[in-house]
Structure 1
């Protein structure tokens, strides 16, 4: 595999999943602290109070990142921690720069301060303005060293799992009445872009999850259901940014903002970006619901009865240990689809891609053998190369994740990391995939 000169190989993490130190330095609770404290919300009753203790072990962790040869490290800033001070992120950024790694922080990766949730969370338009204030404070403190910023992460997943359903924090379970939360996150993105530009940011982007959605059969009803699901989960979160409007009038009306104000919001949301982040894991197959058919367990979360679309199992020769279909060519497909849909699409960075396998602990020789992850990454990097060959401007690829971590409602069973983390001792061990990635990067030089 050969990639264009300057291609940005990286790794990615998020604050809540790795930092731990849940109340250090006066940090207040996030919606995820509240969610994990409720019985039955997280597998095995686990939480992220310690996570992998990155807060205290960041210097060691930066060594694992830097010695792989990656150019970029995408991490997120904990909004509740930032409210108590930014000293930790000062130290982290300095450590990364000293190691020759470009810091690429994400402002919001799902850990809303609980005090804002108590005022309505993302259903409250004011939360978007509070994020803009937070963005300004972070940019003022770190902007002399951080040049590349990501505003929001996977608004579609946060909206679907946390607001439409109740599988993630804040567990609202609103169904389609969750659309205002989607709009207010998009507005927060637009406001944050404006603020970051004011503070001289060199490059601003967003990380949206995208995936192909296919009808399960040739039945016209399945095609209609798939198109509706595709619009809700993909284009609702990218059309406003890249085309300046929602994909259809039903969604536009559902966000609950009067037309005059909505047009002003969309002008802000659609401000030009320097790059567009794509998170990809697996494709989806959808059919019109069949009466009496059990659709539970198909996706990571179950779509409730009464919706006009239902998932079916994607055909795949291989699956991750999380049950996700391994279809590398679907990454090429969605990257090409984005190019075709958006004439003014900025350069793409694949801001997340990776797989959970239940890796065995280090063997007697100290190695963590994860050949299936190596195969997964190889296939998906080849899919990126194919997209580039097809004319898509892909300028980078970040592996999810640098370390085994807290996988939200799935707890610690799911291991996505290039670096193994022992759950008892928190000792770090580089997996075979870490060495494979290092050698791939070195071969590009």
Structure 2
């Protein structure tokens, strides 16, 4: 069986990771601009001031996508480029940039998929409380309204928020990502709630303003894989483990961030642990948080195996074997993550499914022949996408796959030390070199996965 006839193949990027032009044309600092200035925050002491210079080179990047047959492009918008003060006056130069990008995509026959928020909150709003502020849902609604008004005539596909688990878990719990805070449980839970309410308000605004709009949500989380797929006890144990809310914080949970959005309620185990920290009247907020979605997406890179166990939880994690395969950044290579993650999510939520990010960091370099050969990435993508196809064969309503990433870029707290792209970027010169994996992916797109 091949992929569905109208299956969507694409690539993805994020504004802060590729755009650069950090203070040009009216843009103000984001929390990531300021986080990069904190000593030790970025492992290679770099920043996103120039990144891939996509702000100035987007036409070249779009032409490259078109050359290789990429028909869908997921990109995010820089909030402080559109609203330098977070709210209020619109920065027309910022609007002009995204208008030019969107028009360029459409000229080449590439469908734009806009992510409203991929982590670059205006720093001025963080100083007003950021996601902990009860005003955030209305700030977010105002920002979404500007995007809807200015781009909704051509962009019909929107992701509201990318990886809420990282926004709160890494930004407000561990402090490893911007804004680098380590807050208590009450503030973490408040931030989670405000984030989901912001998602809901964005959905309402988009439905009101954009004709024929399609809306999705892009959380993340490592899949949980049954040790023995033929053992019903292991399959059920993995399902329970996948949706269980962690006992130290809800900030990295799959169910905590998706049950309210899709099912209209917090998971029962999460309420027992953290219900006391929710804001007063949170039940009424579910009317805002739970909005109809056209697709549910997930960023999936890896998974962990579990098996049934006679303990309090009913499962136990199976250690990775000695010498297990890993990517350049140390993440485990677990192709079955793209079968079991989508399967469990489909069974629980029954919303058409997309992979909004999947890919790997590899030890890429320009070789003596002037090319970039990345067989490990090709093998990784081949194995993962084949498992995703298997999920579709077993009844999951799979609609699309976005490879992370179009090009090497600023990999958040790891700086430029990791290369996830299908296109190699020589940062000193900005030169783009298509990797072997881009040609392989182009063939996968052309054959709709029949080459797998």
TM-score (norm 1): 0.88
Structure 2 runs not aligned, ≥5 long: 84-90, 228-232, 308-315
1:50 equivalent in alignment to 2:54? no
- For residue 208 of structure 1, what is the aligned residue in structure 2? 219
- For residue 345 of structure 2, what is the aligned residue in structure 1? 338
Q: Is contact 1:179-1:255 (8 Å) kept?
A: yes
Q: Where in structure 2 are the equivalents of 1:310-389 lying within 5 Å?
A: 314-315=320-321, 317-342=324-349, 345-361=350-366, 363-389=367-393
> Cα RMSD (Å) of the superposition?
2.6
- For residue 424 of structure 2, what is the aligned residue in structure 1? 420
Deviations 1:167-202 (A, max 9, x none): 000111125331211111111100000000011252
Q: Is contact 1:283-1:314 (8 Å) kept?
A: no
Deviation at 1:311, TM superposition (A): 8.9
- For residue 97 of structure 1, what is the aligned residue in structure 2? 106
Of 194, 197, 202 in structure 2, the residue corresponding to residue 192 of structure 1 is 202
- Distance in 2, matches of 1:215 and 1:386, equals 16
Q: Is contact 2:7-2:400 (8 Å) kept?
A: yes
- Distance in 2, matches of 1:418 and 1:80, equals 28
- For residue 307 of structure 1, what is the aligned residue in structure 2? none
1:403 equivalent in alignment to 2:412? no
Q: Is contact 2:79-2:121 (8 Å) kept?
A: yes
Deviations 1:57-81 (A, max 9, x none): 0000001222221221000000000
- For residue 127 of structure 1, what is the aligned residue in structure 2? 136
Of 424, 429, 436 in structure 2, the residue corresponding to residue 432 of structure 1 is 436
SS in 1 for 2:336: helix
- For residue 18 of structure 1, what is the aligned residue in structure 2? 18
Deviation at 1:229, TM superposition (A): 2.6
Q: Is contact 1:339-1:392 (8 Å) kept?
A: yes
- Distance in 1, matches of 2:225 and 2:423, equals 34
- Distance in 1, matches of 2:36 and 2:306, equals 31
Deviation at 1:439, TM superposition (A): 1.0
- Distance in 2, matches of 1:262 and 1:109, equals 25
- Distance in 2, matches of 1:233 and 1:78, equals 26
Structure 1 runs not aligned, ≥5 long: 288-309
- Distance in 2, matches of 1:224 and 1:434, equals 37
SS in 1 for 2:153: coil
SS in 2 for 1:107: strand
CA 1:205–1:251: 2 relative to 1, 3 Å: farther
Q: Is contact 1:371-1:433 (8 Å) kept?
A: yes
Q: Is contact 2:338-2:385 (8 Å) kept?
A: no
- For residue 269 of structure 1, what is the aligned residue in structure 2? 289
Deviation at 1:47, TM superposition (A): 0.3
Of 264, 268, 272 in structure 2, the residue corresponding to residue 244 of structure 1 is 264
CA 1:33–1:285: 2 relative to 1, 3 Å: farther
Q: Is contact 1:159-1:181 (8 Å) kept?
A: yes
Task: Count how many residue pairs are aligned between Structure 1 and Structure 2.
Answer: 417
Q: Is contact 2:11-2:404 (8 Å) kept?
A: yes
- Distance in 1, matches of 2:306 and 2:170, equals 18
- For residue 229 of structure 1, what is the aligned residue in structure 2? 246
CA 1:428–1:338: 2 relative to 1, 3 Å: same
Deviation at 1:252, TM superposition (A): 5.4
Of 143, 159, 162 in structure 2, the residue corresponding to residue 153 of structure 1 is 162
Deviation at 1:286, TM superposition (A): 8.8
1:183 equivalent in alignment to 2:207? no
